Amino acid sequence: MNTRDMDCFCAITREKSITKASKVLYMSPQGLSKIIKNIENELGAKLLIRTSSGIELTQSGQCFYEKVCKILSDYRDMKNDILHIEQRDAGVIDLISAYGILRLLTPECIRQFCQSYPEIEFTYREYPDREVERKFQKKDGNVAFSIGPFEEGLYDKTELASCPVRLLVHRSHPLAKRQAVSIGDIQGEPLFIESSEFKIHHLILEKCREAGFCPDIAFETSGFSLCHKMCREGKGISVTLDFISEDMSMDQLACVPFDGEGYQWTAYMLTRKGEPRTAEVELFHRHVDKWLQGIRKGVITR
């Protein structure tokens, strides 16, 4: 039995079906059934029972599942710890970034760094805000870009940029004529917004809760572009950021500020609390800081 076999068993348990699990795992049902049979033979126990409602665990199966989940979690943590040590010793920069931040910095920021320091191995990946933090807390990556706020004590953080969150509406919408809006003005309006994996989602929902209502969420998405499209077609309202709107066609759209405080999207560069920055990460930190200064001064065009 190996970790792959354990993953297969967990997939069947989650899906409650060998057929469904086989699709998730890109395997044949026959191959998956053989793996389970081999595990049962190795343990000398019946782990799964087929019922009319799907696969169920026996008592031994439940015990095995609980132990396997811990084994797999510990194994992945170990792999991440070792990878982290190897990356540190090799001077690798492994950046994980929340969507939108590299759009703010521009891809040229990364390309310029790689050209300036070709001897430094540089990798990056993008995820929703909350997924970045989950991965970073598990020691995936050695530097991160994400959106505040954060739980205290987890990171050493440097603010990269802060942008006001604005209401996005079609120019024909009555709210488009306002100098500013309150959160209460969006009550009852079809709202297109990024999913709960993004901090901006929670910011808007929290503001709505404070105002005593639940927003009418028409659709949750993983990107700003669909929100702009729906607003452009007059199908609802959304929220956006200045630098995002600058990259979009805004001929038919208007951005309106919110009254009050707390409508901010703030991006940070993160390293783990108490973990010394490598010389390579320090170089990258200085490069990003200089790049942002160039954008603010107009020397670098976004």
How many CB atoms neighbour CB 233 within 10 A? 10
* Residue 290: pLDDT over 90: yes
Q: 60 with 203, same domain?
A: no
> In degrees rounded to 5, what are phi and psi of residue 74?
-65, -40
How many CB atoms neighbour CB 27 within 10 A? 17
Would residue 108 count as lying in a domain?
A: yes
Which pLDDT does position 169 carry in this prediction?
Answer: 96
- CA separation for the pair 87, 91 (Å, rounded): 6
Pick from 50, 77, 104: which residue ends a domain? 77
Instruction: Write the CA distances from 148 to 158, 172, 219, 246, 279, integer angstroms.
Output: 11, 33, 24, 22, 25
Positive or negative: CA dihedral 118, 123, 129, 130: negative
For residue 149, say if its preceding peptide bond is cis, omega within 30 degrees of 0.
yes
What does the pLDDT look like over 3-46, one tens digit per residue? Answer: 999 999 999 999 999 999 988 888 899 999 999 999 999 999 99
Which pLDDT does position 247 carry in this prediction?
Answer: 83
* Residue 48: pLDDT over 70: yes
* Residue 76: pLDDT over 90: no
Q: 166 with 198, same domain?
A: yes
Q: 151 with 168, same domain?
A: no
| Burial of 165 from C-beta contacts in 10 A (0-12 / 13-18 / 19+) | buried
At 165, which CATH number?
3.40.190.10
Q: 181 with 251, same domain?
A: yes
At 55, which CATH number?
1.10.10.10
Q: Report whether 237 contacts 169 (CB < 8 A).
A: yes
What does the pLDDT look like over 176-235, one tens digit per residue? Answer: 999 999 999 999 999 999 999 999 999 999 999 999 999 999 999 987 889 999 999 999
Pick from 77, 98, 124: which residue ends a domain? 77
Instruction: Give the three-class secondary structure for 92.
Output: coil
Mean pLDDT of 227-254: 91
What does the pLDDT look like over 150-172, one tens digit per residue? Answer: 999 999 999 999 999 999 999 99
- CA separation for the pair 7, 217 (Å, rounded): 36
Which pLDDT does position 112 carry in this prediction?
Answer: 94
Which pLDDT does position 84 carry in this prediction?
Answer: 65
- CA separation for the pair 124, 141 (Å, rounded): 9
Mean pLDDT of 56-79: 90
Would residue 291 count as lying in a domain?
A: yes
Pick from 24, 48, 77: which residue ends a domain? 77
Count of all residues that appear for the chain in the document: 302
Show the CA angle centred on residue 243, arms to residues 241 and 249, nearest 5°: 90
Q: 88 with 179, same domain?
A: no
Which pLDDT does position 207 carry in this prediction?
Answer: 97
Q: 15 with 101, same domain?
A: no
Range of the domain at 98: 82-157+267-297
* Residue 85: pLDDT over 90: no
Would residue 205 count as lying in a domain?
A: yes
* Residue 87: pLDDT over 70: no
- CA separation for the pair 113, 104 (Å, rounded): 16
Number of folded domains in the chain?
3
Q: 111 with 198, same domain?
A: no
The alpha carbons of the chain give a radius of gyration, in whole angstroms, of 24
Which pLDDT does position 222 carry in this prediction?
Answer: 84
Which residues pair with residue 270 across a beta bridge?
144, 157
Structure tokens at 59: 């008592």
Residue with tokens 């699709």: 23
Which pLDDT does position 90 carry in this prediction?
Answer: 64
Q: Name which residue leads in pLDDT, 274 or 166.
A: 166
Residue 163 parent element (H or E): strand 155-170
Mean pLDDT of 53-63: 91
* Average pLDDT over all residues of the chain: 91
Contacts made by residues 298-301, CB under 8 angstroms, sequence distance 24+: 300/106, 300/108
What percent of the chain stands above pLDDT 90?
72
Q: 114 with 206, same domain?
A: no
Structure tokens at 109: 């920021």
Q: 171 with 257, same domain?
A: yes
Would residue 302 count as lying in a domain?
A: no
Residues in Cβ contact with 227 at an 8 Å cutoff, skipping those fewer than 6 apart? 168, 192, 193, 194, 221, 238, 239, 240
